Structure 1
């Protein structure tokens, strides 16, 4: 920040004028919202934090189909930063290998 302010003050002191540059998205940088959502969902895996899965509408549907009500669990605030694979050993058998596999498979299908 300081270097930016310093450079700007040098330009002003030297009498140079800043040229305005209009930043408009190009075909290469513009990305439709749907495409961005697909990419975000593709980045979500069984190793993603539970909160990240629940924040994505499509990933949430996958989780809810396999572990209904996870957001309503009394320990949700404690586990939301963990992945389902990390939570499984502490679940007392409530999160099974089959559930983990089903969530992983569902998330993979989102991409």
Structure 2
């Protein structure tokens, strides 16, 4: 059923032209780190793209818990650059504020990367 929901969401995205969603600019680079001591990469957050959430093994586990099969969806390539909040209106009620809040809570509970 989840795959059907995401198929409908992806089709709606394509029809609405939302597949070309804008992304936030990259944060400014931190030059304060000493040579050889680059800051550790932070884990993706609820504001990250779906692709970033699926790429990190720990956050993918959270995504699979709440939205199983999302990364295997046939239209994944069309919505992977979007955030969950951006895809939610097209999910026919499957990505709700409650689901997003639950994912956010689980992401925040993960140990630092």
TM range (shorter): 0.5 to 0.7
How far the C-alpha of 1:30 sits from its partner, in A, is: 6.7
The total of aligned residue pairs comes to: 77
- Find the aligned partners of 1:102 and 1:56 in 2 and give their Cα distance: 18
Taking structure 1 as the reference length, what is the TM-score of the superposition? 0.62
- Find the aligned partners of 1:79 and 1:92 in 2 and give their Cα distance: 15
5+ residue gaps, structure 1, are 1-23
How far the C-alpha of 1:107 sits from its partner, in A, is: 1.0
Alignment match, 2:71: 71
Q: Give the number of the structure whose alpha-carbon radius of gyration is greater.
A: 1
Map 1:48-87; keep pairs closer than 5 Å: 48-87=48-87
5+ residue gaps, structure 2, are 1-34
CA-atom RMSD in angstroms? 1.8
Consecutive aligned runs of 4 or more in structure 1 exceeding 3 Å deviation: none
Alignment match, 2:46: 46
SS at match of 1:103: helix
- Find the aligned partners of 2:74 and 2:93 in 1 and give their Cα distance: 17
Taking structure 2 as the reference length, what is the TM-score of the superposition? 0.61
Alignment match, 1:8: none
